[in-house]
């Protein structure tokens, strides 16, 4: 009877041996992580608040989990993540996601997976906050939100210095965050499944008087005579990666 019972368990996939075979070699990786509201306080940043539910240190860098509470009117520029995956679970409100297939709204209860390299933008086009639980794999990008909270304590969204400071911050996280141009109109209009053509002007189509695409991180540099990403130019030319250093270098006469 014992042998028959074991055979039945093996056949149905519930054998203890099958479970043990999937267990990690390091028992610490199998630790249960639980987070109560008091364990992770809400932190204000430029889009609303976030709570770091599971930091990457708790998972050996395999993933991190962040709760985001974003206010009405917040939308990201077009971007992609070449080295990580994002998974959003919508807890409250409606999350709007723009992709090459168009724009789609995801109400509470929705689950959205954004694979590495997928050009997208997302935000809150409604009148109430949107709360999501974001899982990033692997971990690391959670530091971007921590740095945004630090920036929010010194300069607010809408202040003249916010955009250049935000561009610099994004440049420091270029391992995880890559800016992108809006997908072609033809690609967006080819989508289906309830999607509608993406809103390009509101998210990624804004260019300044010199034709520089600000949401993609570009600013005009008179010294080079073209649009430049400040952090990239700083790395090539050897000056500090700051708005002040970029302006000083670009306004200096060529040859200095």
For residues 94 and 172, membership in a common domain is answered with yes
Q: Return left, alpha or beta for 109; rule: phi > 0 is left, psi -120 to 50 is alpha, else beta.
A: left
Q: Which helix (H) or strand (E) holds 248?
A: helix 243-251
Q: Does 141 fall in a domain?
A: yes
| In contact, 124 and 130? CB cutoff 8 Å | yes
Cα-trace Rg, the chain: 22
Length of the chain in terms of residues written: 256
Q: Does 23 fall in a domain?
A: no
Q: What is the arithmetic mean of pLDDT over 151-166?
A: 88
Q: pLDDT tens, 20-55?
A: 445 556 655 667 778 887 888 999 999 999 999 999
| In contact, 27 and 6? CB cutoff 8 Å | no
Beta bridge partners of 87: 113, 135
For residues 216 and 136, membership in a common domain is answered with no
Identify the CATH number of the domain in which residue 53 sits.
2.60.120.10
What is this structure's pTM?
0.66
For residues 204 and 159, membership in a common domain is answered with no
Q: Does 26 fall in a domain?
A: no
By C-alpha distance, which of 203, 198, 202 is closest to 102? 198
Residue-level pLDDT at 218: 76
Q: Does 203 fall in a domain?
A: yes
Q: Does 17 fall in a domain?
A: no
Cα separations in angstroms, 247 against 90, 171, 211, 227, 253 = 41, 16, 18, 13, 12
For residues 75 and 169, membership in a common domain is answered with yes
For residues 64 and 172, membership in a common domain is answered with yes
Number of structural domains found in the chain: 2
- Cα-flanking dihedrals φ and ψ of residue 96, to 5°? -100, 125
Q: Which two tokens stand for residue 199?
A: 């809103």
By C-alpha distance, which of 60, 61, 43, 44 is closest to 52? 43
Q: Which two tokens stand for residue 46?
A: 């430029």
Last residue of a domain, one of 179, 207, 231: 179
Q: Does 119 fall in a domain?
A: yes
Q: Does 191 fall in a domain?
A: no
Q: Residue 109 above 70 pLDDT?
A: yes
For residues 166 and 212, membership in a common domain is answered with no
Q: What is the arithmetic mean of pLDDT over 229-249?
A: 85
For residues 59 and 173, membership in a common domain is answered with yes
For residues 174 and 47, membership in a common domain is answered with yes
| In contact, 151 and 143? CB cutoff 8 Å | no
Domain span holding position 155 = 37-179
CB atoms within 10 A of CB 223: 16
Coil vs helix vs strand at 117: coil
Q: Does 2 fall in a domain?
A: no
For residues 168 and 53, membership in a common domain is answered with yes
For residues 117 and 153, membership in a common domain is answered with yes
Judged by average pLDDT, the poorest of 72-81, 88-97, 130-139, 185-194 is: 185-194
Coil vs helix vs strand at 42: coil
Task: Could you list the beta-strand ranges (E) of 117-251.
Answer: 121-123, 130-137, 178-179, 219-221, 226-228
For residues 98 and 137, membership in a common domain is answered with yes
Judged by average pLDDT, the poorest of 55-69, 182-196, 204-218, 220-234 is: 182-196
For residues 52 and 126, membership in a common domain is answered with yes
């Amino acid at each position: 009877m014992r042998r028959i019972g074991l055979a039945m368990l093996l056949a149905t996939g519930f054998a203890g041996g099958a479970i043990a075979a999937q267990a990690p070699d390091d028992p610490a990786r199998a630790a249960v992580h639980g987070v109560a509201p008091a364990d992770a306080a809400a932190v204000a940043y430029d889009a609303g608040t976030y709570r770091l539910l599971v930091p990457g240190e708790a998972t050996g860098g395999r993933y991190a989990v962040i709760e985001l509470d974003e206010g009405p009117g917040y939308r990201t520029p077009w971007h992609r993540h070449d080295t990580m995956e994002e998974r959003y679970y919508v807890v409250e409100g409606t999350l709007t996601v723009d992709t090459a297939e168009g724009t789609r709204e995801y109400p509470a209860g929705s689950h959205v997976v954004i694979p590495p390299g997928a050009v997208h933008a997302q935000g809150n086009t409604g009148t109430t906050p949107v709360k999501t639980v974001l899982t990033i794999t692997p971990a690391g990008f959670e530091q971007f939100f921590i740095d945004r909270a630090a920036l929010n304590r010194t300069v607010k969204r809408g202040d003249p210095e916010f955009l250049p400071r935000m561009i610099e911050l994004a440049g420091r996280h270029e391992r995880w965050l890559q800016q992108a141009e809006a997908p072609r109109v033809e690609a967006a209009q080819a989508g289906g499944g309830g999607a509608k053509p993406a809103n390009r002007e509101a998210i990624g189509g804004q260019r300044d008087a010199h034709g520089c695409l600000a949401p993609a991180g570009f600013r005009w540099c008179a010294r080079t005579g073209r649009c430049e990403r400040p952090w990239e130019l700083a790395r090539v030319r050897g000056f500090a990666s700051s708005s002040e250093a970029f302006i000083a270098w670009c306004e200096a006469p060529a040859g200095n």
